[in-house]
Amino acid sequence: MKIIIDSNIVFSAILNSQGKIGQLIINGSKFFKFFTVGLLKEEIEEHKDKILSISGFTNQQFRQSFQSITNRITFVDEILISDKDLNKAIGLVAEIDENDALFVALTNHLNGKLWTGDKKLTSGLKKKGFSKTISSNELYEQFLEKQMTIRRRHK
């Protein structure tokens, strides 16, 4: 399954790679293919000082967390997203949050699921007929199911 990850999920994972979201990306990468927009790497770098302040990380700890999370995500250059998918996404997020347009466009482009913790975005998209979202809890349940299936096969 293709999972498109929004900014907040990636930031949460970097801030706490041992937490549920961080572990879903690290351990879930054997079951799911994670994608996000290329611009997100730049956004993370722009907010590095804030991340260091919030987390109390040293530069080295930040780099380790950043690497362990981003190495499991494919960053897609926005130029590859079709104008059709981009325009459709802009229409979908217009009255919700325009900053999420690229994530929605990438979700359509890859025919995946958008992993977001933004309840306003999720409910706003659902009202407009877009149901390609997945919550952390839903993804975690699918992760556990996949793990159990593997364990059953190895018995």
Tallying the residues shown for the chain, one arrives at 155
Summarize the chain as % helix, strand, coil (round to 5): 65, 10, 25
- DSSP conformational letter for 29: T
φ, ψ for residue 116 (rounded to 5)?
-145, 150
pLDDT at 35: 97
pLDDT, one tens digit per residue, over 83-142 is: 999 999 999 999 898 889 999 999 999 999 999 999 999 999 999 999 999 999 999 999
What percent of the chain stands above pLDDT 70? 99
What percent of the chain stands above pLDDT 90? 81
149 or 34, higher pLDDT: 34
Dihedral in degrees, nearest 10, Cα atoms 79, 83, 89, 93:
90
CA 42, chain centre distance (Å): 15
pLDDT at 153: 80
Cα angle at 18 between 16 and 21, to 5 degrees?
Answer: 70
The overall average pLDDT reported for the chain is 93
Cα-Cα-Cα-Cα dihedral sign, residues 129, 135, 141, 146: positive
- The total number of structural domains that make up the chain: 1
Q: Which residues contact 147 (CB under 8 A, 6 or more apart)?
A: 31
pLDDT, one tens digit per residue, over 71-83 is: 999 999 999 999 9
Give the pLDDT band of residue 25 (cuts 50, 70, 90).
Answer: very high
pLDDT at 152: 81
Average of per-residue pLDDT across 64-69 = 93
Residue 98 to residue 100: CA distance in whole angstroms? 5
Residue 34 to residue 73: CA distance in whole angstroms? 5
Q: Which domain holds residue 37?
A: 2-153
Give the pLDDT band of residue 149 (cuts 50, 70, 90).
Answer: confident
Pairing of the two strands 113-115 and 33-37: unpaired
CATH code of the domain containing 127: 3.40.50.1010
